[in-house]
Amino acid sequence: MLRTIFWYAAGWTYLLITMPVLYRIKYLERKGKTDEKEALANRFSMRLARGLFYLTGSSVEVEGIERLPEGPVLFVSNHQSHMDSAVIHGFIPRPKGFVADKDAGRIPILRTWMKYMKCIFIDRGNARRNIRSLESGIKLLKQGHSLVIYPEGRINASGRLADFKKGCLKLAAKAGVPVVPVTIRYSSSIMDRKGLKIRPARIRCIISDPIDISNLSDRNEAVQIKKVREIIAKSLM
């Protein structure tokens, strides 16, 4: 319990300390210094993610960095814990945003960082808004900014993969970028689904070979999704 209290107290303090950096990013945005703004946002948001992860007392081993191709990708990952995003953003050296539930965009300060990370938010109860969000995601990928999607749709700490949602690969297909499967192991040991208990753990993050899905169609979509899911499932074993 003491570790959990410490993590939340230190985490919020850390977020508050980043406010001057956010003001700097906003200033660069107003001045039209886009490249400088994005470089600062990416560099510092990765540092923030690593800091929040290390505050749990945990360690991480990342395997397969050398498999990352040049250019933007759609990272497709399993989702055992809220801490997965800190691992993926903090330790995979690539500018990236997340396809996130709209509720994640309600957390003060963090939502501003997510904005500058170029996350897109999904509202499961608003199909029209989701279409606009996905169109924004395609545009981001085409502009060279990678995205992360959790195709299970929600946190699944069971150790077994849930079914992947239909359409989870269409962002990559429509943007013409490869899919990179990512497997996170043991992150559910750090934080439970409700975030009520923080414990240190040793995490593995496995990056698999990129997959070209440029031939994705309604006819072969299920086959392509199964292929990506099997790669992640194998790395979970």
Domains by residue range for the chain, with CATH? 2-236 (3.40.1130.10)
143: how many CB neighbours lie within 10 A of its CB? 10
Burial class (CB in 10 A: 0-12, 13-18, 19+), 11: middle
Banded pLDDT at 160 (limits 50, 70, 90): confident
Nearest to 88 by CA among 152, 154, 148: 148
The rounded mean pLDDT for the chain is: 93
Nearest to 5 by CA among 157, 195, 223, 139: 195
What is the Cα–Cα distance from 148 to 121, expressed in whole angstroms?
12
Banded pLDDT at 138 (limits 50, 70, 90): very high
pLDDT in tens, 67-115: 999 999 999 999 999 999 999 999 999 999 999 988 877 888 999 999 9
Banded pLDDT at 170 (limits 50, 70, 90): very high
- Reply yes or no on whether the pLDDT at 127 is more than 80: no
- Amino acid identity of residue 218, one-letter, is D
Alpha-carbon Rg for the chain in angstroms: 17
Alpha helices in the chain (DSSP H): 2-17, 19-30, 34-54, 83-91, 110-116, 127-142, 170-175, 221-236
Banded pLDDT at 196 (limits 50, 70, 90): confident
pLDDT in tens, 58-72: 999 999 999 999 999
Banded pLDDT at 139 (limits 50, 70, 90): very high
- Reply yes or no on whether the pLDDT at 204 is more than 90: yes
- Amino acid identity of residue 112, one-letter, is T
Q: Point out the least confidently predicted range of 29-33, 48-52, 213-217.
A: 213-217
What is the Cα–Cα distance from 159 to 227, expressed in whole angstroms?
19
Banded pLDDT at 218 (limits 50, 70, 90): confident
Q: What is the DSSP letter of 102?
A: G
What is the Cα–Cα distance from 237 to 229, expressed in whole angstroms?
13
Find out whether 13 and 5 touch, Cβ atoms under 8 Å: no
pLDDT score at 96:
96
Angle among Cα 189, 191, 197 to the nearest 5 degrees reads 110
Banded pLDDT at 8 (limits 50, 70, 90): very high
- Reply yes or no on whether the pLDDT at 135 is more than 80: yes
pLDDT score at 102:
83
pLDDT score at 132:
86
